[in-house]
Amino acid sequence: MERAEIMTKTPTGKSVRLAQPVKQVTVDAGLMPKKPGRQQRRPTAEAEPATATVNIFAPVHPAVAATRQKMKQQAAKTAAVRLGAAIDAGALPAAEAKRLVLSRIVKSLGSTEAAEKWYRSHHLSELGGRTPAQMVRAGELRALLEYFARDTSAKA
């Protein structure tokens, strides 16, 4: 096999084929890294030496790497714009809104469990004494995110 195609997923779910040269070589299996948890076969006197097939990928040209990076950045920008539009329209599902809030606070609290507990039980006096969970269920995600922005800027 002289050439193979690698499939990558775009944010829209469509596949893009990016060709990259590949060469397959056969090597002594003893040279391969050992996988944890696998039993090693004991060689017998009559058995042929174990071999393994390895794919060697050619390096990607810098222009191709730059184009791929540009595509990733554009996809991230597009996703951010869509997220912002969904938040403004109030069309973001509650589960997605919860994930967004938890991702913002898990950094400051240190763990997902602490963030989950804070999300459900911490009453925010600046927002009427309600918890973040109550605000998300009421569809007031924009006000909650603005509170986080003010709180973060006050700490900085």
Residues 96 and 138 in one domain: yes
Confidence of residue 75 (pLDDT cuts 50, 70, 90): very high
With a threshold of 0.85, does the pTM exceed it? no
Q: Write down the pLDDT at residue 94.
A: 86
| 41-68 pLDDT tens trace | 665 555 566 888 888 777 778 888 899 9
Please provide residue 124's backbone torsions phi and psi, each rounded to the nearest 5 degrees: -95, 105
Q: What is the dihedral of CA 60, 63, 68, 73, to 10 degrees?
A: 140
Q: Which of 34-38, 65-69, 74-78, 81-85 has the lowest mean pLDDT?
A: 34-38
Tally of domains within the chain: 2
Range of the domain at 145: 91-155
Cα–Cα nearest to 133, from 81, 88, 97, 91: 97
Using one digit for the tens of pLDDT, what is the confidence trace for 2-41?
Answer: 444 444 555 555 554 455 667 788 888 878 777 776 666 6
